[in-house]
Structure 1
Amino acid sequence: MSIQNVELVLDAKATLAEGPSWYAKEEKLYWVDIIGQKFGRFDPATGENEDYSIGEHVGAVVPAGDNKVMLATQSGFQWYDLLDRKLTALIDPEAHIPGNRFNDGKCDAQGRFWAGTMDNAEQSESGALYVLDTDCSYRKVFDGVGVSNGIAWSLDEKEMYYVDSMKKLVYSFDFDAERGQISNPQVLIDFRDEQGFPDGMTIDEEGMLWIAHWDGWQVSRWNPRTKQKLSSIAVPAAKASSCMFGGKDLDVLYITTARKGLQPEQAADQPHAGGLFAVKPGVKGTKTYSFGQA
């Protein structure tokens, strides 16, 4: 089953749009252009988008209170004030690995920021997954990562799901919500028989996973209990990079895409690659959490 009614909502022409994060208080969607070295704040009500230039690769953005966000960037975790457009460095867990950068991240229900790294050249498995606690201390929780990507939690918060795009695997972990700890990694979904690579990910109110297919022209829905692919949404861009539910009723699935690596003839066939798309898939999503539960 494929749902085709995807709408272009922002023709951003981003090189590598990623990491959408819905901020319900503002009813706006935050997202990053990793290679464009910026993040955006999109207002679906007006169709307008504000860009905030960072000056370095930025892999993830999460709300952190009024007019403030937390970023995971080339040089670690950083605060950003949207009013004065000021960037304040917090901590760089991988200052000793200059070839690495942060790639994707998300907050859990307790307000912790989980974000992972990758080799910017995409050659080695030098990445790792970190968690930034609400007191701004950090921990490394998983290593040997190729390309750290999508994160989601089960509805009962007893499991965490995690994508390593380079390995084409989706993992599940036992999750201790009180302590913010993961254990017992297992391969949940093997993507090697799927079209493209697993990328960004979210979960809906029925506990089903939604996974963007990089080089796969789609976003797919999976049952983590049966490990079965249930359906897919065709995307008019090969490099679907991530997805996140938003809208007042959390019934809109926003999809980010990329232009990175497209040859001229490929770009001509997908003129809106690098844009933000939206679709109502008939199921609602789950809440996006802010850093520090702000």
Structure 2
Amino acid sequence: MTTMAEPVWEVGAELGEGPVWVARDRALWFTDIKGRRIHRFDPASGERSGWDAPGMPGFALPAARGGFVVGMADGLHRFDPADGSFGMLAAVEPDLPGNRLNDAVVDRAGRLWFGTMDNGETDASGMLYRLQADGVPRAMGGECVITNGPAVNPDGTILYHVDTLARVIYAFALDADGGLSDRRVFATIDPVDGHPDGVSMDAEGHVWVGLYGGWSARRYAPDGTLVETVRFPVANVTKVAFGGPDLRTAFATTAKQGLSTEALAAQPLAGALFAFPVAVPGLEGREVSVGI
């Protein structure tokens, strides 16, 4: 099954990432990591807003006490859209100044999971973390150059983690206390199909992944079978999120990072926010409530 995505905001992000539907706001939020911006899109009204960030925002996820938790190069920050302010919550990897935070998810218990990566995309210094109840990030494994995901299945028993440069999506068993075990290969991406980027889940437990350099997003069944492909008119698809009142609109961020002058001319929509309808809705989003 193949669908075509359509642009909804020609925002021109250098590295669009981290789309998330915020139910309390009825809007989609996402970041431009290299453009150092946080964006908000209201599909009902068409309203578009943006804020400058003091660093490279890998993600912006809603916090239970208001505002957002934003991951940047030096750690986790609280962001208040009302006045555009940022405040440090927790330092992450202060001994690795070449790293930055990249992608994240909130699990059913309100715990924040996030990954780090080498900003130069060469050293295997990236790691998967979980924010503990005491506000201290705990390394959970998953060492690689570029971490992506994570994502958690509907019943909270599986966590998916992406090693982008190895082109592998892994699955871990996730226990009630936030422990990981039994890592296995869930899916691999052929080099001709690009690199797996961010992953997200739908209500049937299927895994959606954006393909950087692959001109598409894919949907995999829980057993790892490819069941659907959505094509894009741009090469670098980074991540899918589900929104709208019924969570049946998929939004996808894209990037123009690394494209040549010729490629940019051929892909005028590179860096845009896209959307497409889905038959199976996404999962209701969670707010960060643990450790902040």
Q: TM-score, normalization: structure 2?
A: 0.96
CA distance in 2, matches of 1:193, 1:12: 28
Shift of 1:67: 5.0
Provide the rounded CA distance (Å) in 2 between the counterparts of 1:78 and 1:85: 12
For residue 48 of structure 1, what is the aligned residue in structure 2? Answer: 47
Q: 2-side partners of 1:7 and 1:134: how far apart?
A: 41
1:172 and 1:143 map into 2 onto residues whose CA distance is 11
Which region of structure 1 is more displaced relative to structure 2, 134-143 or 124-133? 134-143
The Cα shift of 1:137 comes to: 2.5
Cross-structure match for 2:198: 200
Q: What are structure 1's unaligned runs of at least 5 residues?
A: none
- Structure 2 vs 1, CA of residues 152 and 194 (structure 1 numbering), >3 Å: closer, same or farther? farther
* Conservation of the 8 A alpha-carbon contact between 2:107 and 2:156: no
Contact 1:126–1:143 (8 Å) recurs in 2: no
Matches within 5 A, 1:160-175: 160-175=159-174
In structure 2, distance between residues paired with 1:126 and 1:91: 19
Between stretches 106-115 and 186-195, larger displacement belongs to 186-195
Pair 1:9–1:134, CA change in 2 (3 A)? farther
For 2:257, which of 256, 260, 278 is the aligned residue?
A: 260
Structure 1 segment 196-235 matched on structure 2, within 5 A: 196-225=194-223, 227-235=224-232
What one-letter code is carried by the residue in structure 1 that aligns with 2:58? G
Alignment partners' CA distance in 1, 2:275 and 2:187: 25
Question: Counterpart of 2:155 in 1: which secondary structure?
Answer: coil
Structure 2: runs of 5+ lacking an equivalent: none
Deviations 1:229-267 (A, max 9, x none): 111000111000000111110000001000101111111
Query: Following TM superposition, where does structure 1 have runs of at least 4 consecutive aligned residues deviating by more than 4 angstroms?
Result: none
Q: Are positions 1:248 and 2:237 aligned together? A: no
The DSSP-based 3-state class of the residue aligned with 2:264 is helix
Query: Given the superposition, is the C-alpha separation of residues 52 and 98 from structure 1 closer, same or farther in structure 2, using an over 3 Å criterion?
Result: same
**Contact 1:131–1:138 (CA under 8 A) maintained in structure 2:** yes
Instruction: State the distance in 2 between where 1:261 and 1:184 align.
Output: 36
Q: CA deviation at 1:85?
A: 1.4
Instruction: Give the superposition deviation at 1:55.
Output: 2.1
| Separation (CA, whole Å) in 1 of partners of 2:104 and 2:152 | 12
Whole-Å Cα distance in 2 between the matches of residues 66 and 94 of structure 1?
25
Deviations 1:89-120, CA, capped at 9 Å, x for gaps: 11122110000001111111111111101111
Per the TM alignment, residue 160 of structure 1 is displaced from its structure 2 partner at its CA by: 0.8
Alpha carbons of structure 1 residues 193 and 85: separation in structure 2 relative to 1, 3 Å: closer
Match of residue 289 from structure 1: 286
Partner of 1:3: 3
Equivalent residue, structure 1, for 2:186: 188
- What is the CA-CA distance between 1:269 and the residue it aligns to? 1.2
1:274 aligns with 2:277: no
Matched letter for residue 255 of structure 2: A
Using a 3 Å threshold, how does the CA distance of structure 1 residues 204 and 248 change in structure 2: closer, same or farther? same
CA distance, structure 1, for counterparts of residue 137 and residue 225 of structure 2: 35
Q: Name which of 228, 234, 239 aligns with 2:236.
A: 239
**Equivalence for 2:114:** 115
* SS at structure 2 position matched to 1:266: helix
Counterpart CA distance in 2 for 1:194 and 1:181 is 35
Aligned residues: 291
Computed over aligned residues only, the root mean square deviation of the Cα atoms, in angstroms, reads 1.5
Q: Between 231-240 and 137-146, report the one with greater CA deviation.
A: 137-146
Output the amino acid matched with 1:160: L
Between 151-160 and 213-222, report the one with greater CA deviation: 151-160
- Determine the structure 2 residue equivalent to 1:34: 33
Where in structure 2 are the equivalents of 1:140-179 lying within 5 Å?
140-176=139-175, 178-179=176-177
Deviations 1:140-197 (A, max 9, x none): 1014222111222122211111111011110000101x31121121111111356000
1:25 matched residue in structure 2: 24
Change (3 A) 1:78 1:212: same
Indicate if the aligned counterparts of 2:38 and 2:50 stay in contact, CA closer than 8 A. yes
CA contact (8 A) 1:60 1:105 kept: yes
Q: Which amino acid aligns with 2:3?
A: I
Query: 3-state SS of the aligned residue for 1:282?
Result: coil
Structure 2 contact 142–161 (Cα < 8 Å) conserved: no
Whole-Å Cα distance in 1 between the matches of residues 193 and 130 of structure 2? Answer: 30
